[in-house]
Amino acid sequence: MANYQKLNVTGAERVELHDRIGLTGSEISVNVLPAGASVPFVHAHKQNEEVYIVLEGKGKMVLDGEEVELMANDYLRVSPPVKRQIFAAPDSAIKYVCIQTKSGSLENYTATDGIM
């Protein structure tokens, strides 16, 4: 059936889902940083906000120079222009999902877009 895409990935340190499952309104990546590692660059966005969902482990995010501690079950939204970089803790890996969408683009959500 062409109306859905399923993907199963195990063991990868980073999986970008946009092209792999044909996303048209967002970018989603699943990421694992080993203990003591970090994303090797600071970045911001022109239009896209990001939501980080920490699945396992702990670490921190540096947001415009401010350190924000992260641990499993944390959810963090970051506005487009904020400079950001994520780090795993020295003694713990961190596994997280990053969802990127155009800021201000949501017109409806489950309660108003769902059809029963």
Assess if residue 67 is contained within a domain: yes
- Domain residues for the domain of 42 are 28-103
Task: Give pLDDT, residue 115.
Answer: 81
Assess if residue 110 is contained within a domain: no
- Number of domains comprising the chain: 1
Q: What is the pLDDT along the chain (116 residues), one digit of tens a residue?
A: 478 999 998 888 999 999 899 999 999 999 999 999 999 999 999 999 999 999 999 999 999 999 999 999 999 999 999 999 999 999 999 999 999 999 989 888 888 888 87
| Phi (first) and psi of residue 25, to 5 degrees | -130, 0
Assess if residue 77 is contained within a domain: yes
Tokens of 74: 């944390």
List, in sequence order, the alpha helices (H) in the chain: 17-21, 110-113
H-helix or E-strand spanning residue 51:
strand 48-63
Task: Give pLDDT, residue 39.
Answer: 95
How far apart (Å, rounded) are the C-alpha atoms in residues 90 and 53?
A: 20
CATH at residue 46: 2.60.120.10
Assess if residue 20 is contained within a domain: no
Assess if residue 44 is contained within a domain: yes
Task: Give pLDDT, residue 73.
Answer: 98
